[in-house]
């Protein structure tokens, strides 16, 4: 029974491994795939690409690699549903952009017959595996799969190899005010911080306080649970001006670990030593953490 559940849980999460083999850059089973070369101008960005923002520095690094070595991993495409003779990119838009910038004329591709749901799912999983999506892009992709293709949170979680609580928490980010979502998009708030604001009063004001005070996720969670009055907000803002900020490097590390694990993380520095605390609220979260550590 456990083996069957594990197989279902991985589901789509192994989709790219099945397509491209386990070896990443064109290794594994890729040689057995129907790989071909297409003119670069026949490829168009996929309409189901969940990523909206591309890191310029990372793209420049990829461009340099493509100029030197070419595109090592084929781009996954399907026949265009709108223009005959063209191909829609399902996975590999960043490689396609880099190839364009490197002025390549042709790129290696794998052409697959995929329906819209499969196209969106594979595009989502590829970006999740590469950790390329921002929290909001991830949330929007989950929401689209549920809205357009009838996934439940539980079914979607099993398909992509995530916990149901992770999917639910990410989708809740879409309920935040636009101004708070912009702070998240700009990297001024982590996903962990943003989750504490979902059910809070005055999320916009609280977001400002979290940023100005350099709060940890745990501190933000405590703050969000307190009734906030206008007087309290004003007092906190005044106090912030004289407060000593935490080490920004520690705060950044805390946020990154928290986002990676999907749990509250607190780093308490004591000179050269320190304590890293990971907080969970349900046994399901602890189980997910143990599975993550087991996978290395």
Place of tokens 């636009």: 178
Neighbours of 34 (CB within 10 A): 8
Element (H, E) at 280: none
Cβ atoms of residues 76 and 19 within 8 Å = yes
Q: How far is residue 267 from each of residues 2, 12, 158, measured CA to CA in Å?
A: 35, 34, 31
> What is d(CA 42, CA 106) in angstroms, rounded to the nearest whole number?
9
Residue 151 has phi, psi (to 5 degrees) of: -70, 145
Place of tokens 């952009």: 97
Q: Which residues are catalytic?
A: 93
């Amino acid at each position: 029974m456990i083996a069957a559940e594990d197989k279902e849980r991985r589901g789509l999460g192994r989709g790219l491994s099945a397509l491209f083999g386990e070896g990443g850059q064109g290794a594994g089973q890729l040689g057995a795939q129907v790989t071909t070369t297409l003119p670069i101008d026949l490829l168009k960005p996929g309409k189901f690409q969940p990523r909206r923002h591309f890191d310029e520095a990372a793209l420049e690094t990829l461009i340099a690699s493509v100029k030197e070595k070419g595109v090592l991993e084929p781009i996954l495409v399907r026949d265009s549903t709108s223009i005959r003779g063209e191909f829609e990119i399902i996975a590999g838009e960043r490689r396609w952009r880099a190839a364009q910038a490197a002025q390549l004329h042709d790129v290696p591709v794998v052409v697959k017959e995929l329906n819209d749901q499969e196209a969106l799912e594979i595009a989502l999983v590829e970006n999740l595996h590469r950790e390329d999506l921002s929290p909001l892009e991830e949330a929007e992709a989950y929401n689209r799969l549920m809205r357009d293709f009838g996934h439940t949170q539980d079914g979607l979680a099993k398909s992509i190899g995530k916990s149901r609580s992770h999917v639910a928490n990410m989708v809740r980010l879409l309920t935040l005010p636009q101004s708070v979502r912009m702070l998240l998009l700009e990297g001024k708030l982590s996903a962990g911080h943003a989750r504490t604001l979902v059910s809070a009063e005055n999320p916009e004001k609280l977001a400002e306080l979290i940023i100005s005070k350099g709060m940890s996720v745990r501190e933000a969670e405590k703050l969000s649970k307190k009734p906030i009055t206008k007087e309290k907000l004003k007092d906190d803002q005044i106090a912030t001006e004289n407060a000593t900020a935490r080490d920004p490097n520690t705060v950044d590390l805390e946020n990154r670990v928290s986002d990676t694990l999907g749990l509250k993380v607190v780093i308490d520095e004591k000179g050269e030593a320190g304590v890293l605390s990971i907080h969970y609220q349900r046994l399901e979260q602890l189980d997910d953490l143990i599975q993550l550590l087991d996978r290395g």
